[in-house]
Amino acid sequence: MKFVAGSLLDYLTPDDRAFLVDRGLPRKLPADVAVMHEGDPTDHVLILLSGWVRVYSTTRDGGVVLLALRGPGDLIGDIAALQKWPRTANIQSLQEIRFVQLLADEFMTCLHERPTIAIALLRQMSSRLLESESARVNAATLDVTRRVATLLLQLAEVHGRQEENGLVVRVPLTQQDIADRIGASRRAVARALATLRERGILHTGRQMFVVTEPGVLRLFTDSAPNCT
């Protein structure tokens, strides 16, 4: 099984993965269902084994901010559960998902019994902090097309599989998801994707995209003027 780079299970040895996953309750949910609700009380964490979810928050005026996409190997709900806070975001399944569910106390026991799992958790948190900081910097310094290009390049480098026509990324990402992630309108995102396709850098399809020229895409994202 292939896990998302930077996810908890990706950082664990097979023995530690089995130790953790075997402690959980196996569950399965279909696509397009709410997995967690922002503001709900919490007492458990989820470890995704297959499928993808979107993590998002709603603003006071009813807008949506896409915080992340999570896939196989990712731990979900850890900060809220361990701190005993209400859920800080909504989670929605993008496709059928399989996962295991652990009560917060059970997860804490695993961290105490296997310090290597605690270290892996810190590494996952560090990866997510870097992801969040990068998104904030990009929002402040790049135009919409370069923000789109940067997001797609990051996804390709983490989730892409090299095939004959380029780096193929099979992640259920819509234009609206991209807009919600980078803080732009869907129309602006559609224009940006069209620009990248016209330049032969990108091909898009249903629940997938192909970066045909990763080197060119990187040069394109790096060509933005510095903001000081």
Q: pLDDT by residue (tens digit) across 162-171?
A: 888 889 988 8
Q: Is the pLDDT of residue 221 over 80?
A: no
**Residue 121, domain CATH:** 2.60.120.10
Is 2 domain-assigned? no
* Burial track 143-182 (b if 16+ CB lie within 10 A, e otherwise): ebbbbbbbbbbebbebbbeeeeebbbbebbbebebbbbbb
Q: How many Å separate Cα 53 from the centre of its chain?
A: 8
Give the domain range for residue 111: 9-128
Cβ-proximal residues to 154 (8 Å cutoff; 6+ apart), any chain: 131, 134
pLDDT tens for 89-143 read 999 999 999 999 999 999 999 999 999 999 999 999 998 888 788 777 777 778 8
Total tally of structural domains belonging to the chain: 2
CATH no. for residue 199? 1.10.10.10
pTM over 0.85: no
Q: Which residue has the tokens 């007492």?
A: 43
Q: Do residue 101 and residue 164 come from a single domain?
A: no
Question: Do 155 and 55 contact (CB within 8 A), yes or no?
Answer: no
Domain presence at residue 4: no
pLDDT, tens digit (0-9, with 9 covering 90-100), for 139-188: 777 889 999 999 998 888 888 888 888 899 888 888 999 999 888 899 99
| 2-45 confidence digits (pLDDT tens) | 898 889 999 999 999 999 999 999 999 999 999 999 999 888 99
Show Cβ contacts of residue 119 under 8 Å, excluding neighbours closer than 6 positions.
11
User: Do 78 and 127 contact (CB within 8 A), yes or no?
Assistant: no
Residue-level pLDDT at 19: 97
Q: What is the pLDDT of residue 139?
A: 75
The verdict on residue 136 lying in a domain is no
| Percent of the chain residues topping a pLDDT of 70 | 97
Give domain status of residue 135, yes or no. Answer: no
Q: In 71-152, where do the E strands start and end?
A: 75-76, 90-93, 97-103
Residues 112 and 164 placed together within one structural domain of the fold: no
* Together in a domain, 181 and 100: no
Please tell me the distance from the alpha carbon of residue 167 to that of residue 158, in angstroms, as a whole number: 10
What pLDDT score does 107 carry?
A: 94
210 and 158 housed in the same domain: yes
**pLDDT average, residue stretch 177-204:** 91
Give the mean model confidence (pLDDT) for residues 185-211. Answer: 91
**122, 14: one domain:** yes
Q: Is 137 contained in some domain?
A: no
* Predicted pLDDT at 136: 78
Q: Are residues 150 and 202 in the same domain?
A: yes
| CA–CA distance, 192 with 34 (Å, rounded to integer) | 30
- Closest to 102 in 3D by CA, of 50, 30, 47: 47
